Amino acid sequence: MNTVFRYIIEPGFFGSGPVRIALAVGTVIAVTSAVVGVFTVTRGQSFAGHSLADIATTGGSGAFLIGINQFWGYLAFGAGAAAFMELIGLQRRRGRDVATGVVLGAALGLAALFLYLGTQYSTTTGASFTILFGSMFVLTPSTVPVLIISALLALVTVVVLARVLLLSALSPDLAAARGVPVRAVGAAYLMALAVSVALSAVIIGAVLSTALLIGPAATALRVAKGPVRAAAVAAGIGVAATWLGILLAYDSYYWPPAGRGWPVSFFVVTLITGAYLVSYLRPGGRPVAVPDEPEHACSVALC
């Protein structure tokens, strides 16, 4: 029995300092991303969420260039881009997507430049890889409180605004008629989204933080009824995928072919996508054709 157990969990898993930090931070961030993600999916803003993550890459590489902690770079650029996207305004979704795309393209160009300049001036190889795909096991203990506090701030913002966010997602006109400041609420939500994306960029990398944001929420909205249950299920899926991902990445140290461990991001993404695909198999699952313009018609249960 003990030997079987040893195959599942490598000895020393819970004793390792980096693993314990990764598990603690990963849990907080997975919960935040999953809960924020429920609103992102409901509001049809997957692309905005993903763009914020990619633009955060630019900040991360800029921070790498001037030699400060990458989290501040992710956060500054994410928040700046969120503010800019809010300025572009809530026009029709197609126009918004195109404008988002152009901003994203320019930001990625800057990221290329920062990374290029950064690798010119330092000998750190693989920095671009770390920024893009994350580095959960090299979190420095001093940044952990900052990460956890920002995550909680984002989570509290979204929970407090939950009712108005849902209302303005389902029917902006009704929300405006009821005196909800739709734009201010939208801006606050985008800020929370930027923070949570910057956080997950730290653990699974800017490019893949979309997975933690969208995957658990989309799965939960398929299987759970009502936004509160969906948020709870999403948080559960996010945490489970993160923990299993860390465990497998730790186990994979001796796996072929390279013998230096498979990336955490690969496991997390695969588990999350797997969960989403499994939600199709659920008996009585609703095969629904959801309209592409969620501003007009989309109930939470359908998304």
Partner 1 sequence: MFSSFMLNTWFAGTAVAVIAGVTGFFAVLRGSTFAAHAIPNGAFAGAAGAALLGLNPFVGLAVFSAAGALGIAGLSRRARSDVATALTFVLMLGVGALFVSWSTQYAQEAYSLLFGEVFGISASEVLPIAILGAVSVAVIVFMFRPLLLSSALPEVAEARGVPPRRMELVFLLVMALATSMTVPVVGALLMFSLMIGPAAAARSLTARPGLAIALSVVIALVTVWAAIAASYQSNWPLGFFVGVIGAAFFLAGQAWSWGRGKSGNTFRLAARSLR
Please report how close the Cβ of residue 293 comes to partner 1 at its closest, in angstroms: 9
Nearest C-alpha neighbor of 64 from the set 5, 119, 21, 138: 119
Tell whether residue 272 is a contact of partner 1 (CB under 8 A). yes
Please give the C-alpha separations between residue 237 and each of 8, 130, 149, 274, 281, in angstroms, as whole numbers: 20, 25, 22, 11, 16
- Among 19, 175, 180, 269, which residue interacts with partner 1 (rule: CB under 8 A)? 269
Q: How many residues bind partner 1 (CB under 8 A)?
A: 66
- Among 208, 223, 230, 239, which residue interacts with partner 1 (rule: CB under 8 A)? 208
Tell whether residue 29 is a contact of partner 1 (CB under 8 A). no
- Among 222, 227, 230, 241, which residue interacts with partner 1 (rule: CB under 8 A)? 222
Of 180 and 223, nearer to partner 1 (C-beta) is: 223
Nearest C-alpha neighbor of 62 from the set 8, 113, 114, 15: 114
Q: Looking only at Cα atoms, what is the longest distance across the chain? A: 64
Tell whether residue 112 is a contact of partner 1 (CB under 8 A). yes
Evaluate whether 264 touches 205 at the Cβ level (below 8 Å): no
Evaluate whether 151 touches 32 at the Cβ level (below 8 Å): yes
18 preceded by cis ω (within 30°)? no
Please report how close the Cβ of residue 166 comes to partner 1 at its closest, in angstroms: 16
**Which DSSP state fits 226?**
S
Of 178 and 299, nearer to partner 1 (C-beta) is: 299
Tell whether residue 16 is a contact of partner 1 (CB under 8 A). no
Which residues neighbour 1 within 8 Å (Cβ) at sequence distance 6 or greater?
none
Of 98 and 160, nearer to partner 1 (C-beta) is: 98
CA distance linking residue 159 with residue 60, whole number of Å: 28
Tell whether residue 149 is a contact of partner 1 (CB under 8 A). no
Nearest C-alpha neighbor of 30 from the set 109, 161, 148, 122: 148
Residues 238-267 that bind partner 1 (CB under 8 A): 257-258, 260-263, 265-266
Residue 106, Cα to own-chain centre: how many angstroms? 21
Give the x-and-dash track for 84-103 against partner 1 (CB under 8 A).
Answer: ---------xx--xx-xxxx
Footprint of partner 1 on this chain (CB under 8 A)? 41, 44-47, 49-50, 54, 93-94, 97-98, 100-113, 115-116, 119, 125-126, 128-129, 132-133, 205, 207-208, 210-211, 214-215, 218, 222, 257-258, 260-263, 265-266, 268-270, 272-273, 276, 280, 287-290, 292, 294, 303
